[in-house]
């Protein structure tokens, strides 16, 4: 259970009241007022502590206040903090080269396949860049899966499925065709020679960690190649080790045209990336797109520290081990119908659609997670989650589920 602190001058309730008067109400009231974090634990202004199984929605790959990220950001900001896009810096070039190596698209008849990155500040901006790149094919139609989430800017929102997000802002840009996620036959029927791109998540996060059937991405690759369309994979949530691989699509063995990244890439520092592979690497040319902060050397230094630490600390394997530990323990609960996902990206499907009640009770019990759908909990903790923390999480969450769904 959370433990209370004494003598703080302003309580969470007081800060929340000030929030209501000062911040636009786009999110509703904050659930807690957080003041610090360390590893997989965060503290609120009232002195309560929580095991963070959400990691800022899959952002804090190395947890909170990781020394490698703190050092990288501090050193870079103390050296060269921002240069605009009239110039480049060593961290920007090194990060682009590193991402190209991690994607490892192989070679085309002995020649290296070109890989080029456009840096942005977030996932929605990365998807916005990719959306614009699809227009440079001369086609306008994008085929997108139902249940998808690709961002809140107007372009990315046009490619996002949830009606509650979209409808207040329609008409939205783009010629979009919707298909059921995971249905390769529906994809075959939707794609023709007018389609610019097919956009898919390798695992849908906002939909509640939904995994497509085996072979789905390979079928999508074959279909898009047949019609000369791009295959664009949104790895904003799944990328950077979240599922136990650098990128979730790599399990399929396919070579893509466009990949978008963000969330875990900066370990809490805002950075996104739109990566073009092969011919897609040169779709956007000078003047086609831009950003003031994208490729900022501090953000790139943070991302390099994240990638270095994941590699040096063996966090890809740890994500798989900890994920299996969490999944096997929670799947044994009689009120859990199924646990979906891979690595440390899990969806806990409840037998009753009371995920919001479970999430609220779990927070009161000291666990941070969320309920993206009425019957699903989403668990995306830091990749540094320890065995003991995972055991505590499953014991506590199981007790909460039993109490709420009794």
Residues 144 and 199: their CA atoms lie apart, in Å, by 5
- The answer to whether 237 is annotated as binding is yes
- The answer to whether 282 is annotated as binding is no
Q: Residue 65 — left, alpha, or beta (φ > 0 → left; ψ -120 to 50 → alpha)?
A: left
- The answer to whether 76 is annotated as binding is no
Tokens at residue 133, please? 């790149």
Residue 293, Cα to own-chain centre: how many angstroms?
20
Residues 245 and 249: their CA atoms lie apart, in Å, by 9
SS (H, E, C) 124-154: HHHHHHHHHHHHCCCCCEEEEECCCCCCCCH
- The answer to whether 292 is annotated as binding is yes
DSSP bridge partners of 276: 116, 258
Nearest 5 degrees, angle CA 362-CA 364-CA 368? 50
- The answer to whether 287 is annotated as binding is no
- The answer to whether 149 is annotated as binding is yes
- The answer to whether 358 is annotated as binding is no
CA atoms within 13 A on the CB side of 309: 24
- The answer to whether 234 is annotated as binding is yes
Annotated binding site for N(2)-acetyl-L-ornithine: 152, 291
- Residue positions forming the annotated binding site for pyridoxal 5'-phosphate: 123-124, 149, 234-237, 292
């Amino acid at each position: 259970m959370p433990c209370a602190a004494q003598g703080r001058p302003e309580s969470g309730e007081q800060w929340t009241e000030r929030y209501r008067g000062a911040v636009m109400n786009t999110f509703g009231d904050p659930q807690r007022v957080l003041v610090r974090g360390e590893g997989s634990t965060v503290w609120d202004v009232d002195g309560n502590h929580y095991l963070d199984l959400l990691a800022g929605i899959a952002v804090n790959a190395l947890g909170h206040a990781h020394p490698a990220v703190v050092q990288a950001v501090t050193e870079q900001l103390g050296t060269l903090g921002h240069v605009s896009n009239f110039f480049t810096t060593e961290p920007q070039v090194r990060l682009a080269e590193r991402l190209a190596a991690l994607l490892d698209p192989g070679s085309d008849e002995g020649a290296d396949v070109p890989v080029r990155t456009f840096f942005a500040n977030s996932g929605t901006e990365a998807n916005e860049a990719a959306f614009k790149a699809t227009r440079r094919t001369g086609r306008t139609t994008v085929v997108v899966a139902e249940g998808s989430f690709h961002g809140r800017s107007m372009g990315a929102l046009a490619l996002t499925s949830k009606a509650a997000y979209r409808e207040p802002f329609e008409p939205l840009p783009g010629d979009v065709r919707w298909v059921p996620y995971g249905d390769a036959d529906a994809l075959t029927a939707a794609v023709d020679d007018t389609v610019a791109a097919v956009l898919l998540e390798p695992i849908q996060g906002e939909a509640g960690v939904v995994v497509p059937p085996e072979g789905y991405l390979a079928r999508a690759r074959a279909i898009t190649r047949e019609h000369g369309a791009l295959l664009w994979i949104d790895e904003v949530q799944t990328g950077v080790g979240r599922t136990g691989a650098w990128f979730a699509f790599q399990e399929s063995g396919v070579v893509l045209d466009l990949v978008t990244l963000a969330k875990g890439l900066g370990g809490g520092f805002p950075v996104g990336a739109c990566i073009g592979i092969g011919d897609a690497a040169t779709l956007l040319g000078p003047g086609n797109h831009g950003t003031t902060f994208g490729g900022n050397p501090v953000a790139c230094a943070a991302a390099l520290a994240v990638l270095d630490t994941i590699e040096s600390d063996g966090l890809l394997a740890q994500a798989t081990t900890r994920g299996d530990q969490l999944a096997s323990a929670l799947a044994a609960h009689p009120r859990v119908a199924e646990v979906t996902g891979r690595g440390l990206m899990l969806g806990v499907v409840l037998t009753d659609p009371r995920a919001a009640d479970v999430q609220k009770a779990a927070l009161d019990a000291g666990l941070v997670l969320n309920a993206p759908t009425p019957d699903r909990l989403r668990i995306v903790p830091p990749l540094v989650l320890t065995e003991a923390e995972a055991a505590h999480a499953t014991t506590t969450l199981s007790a909460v589920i039993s109490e709420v769904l009794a």
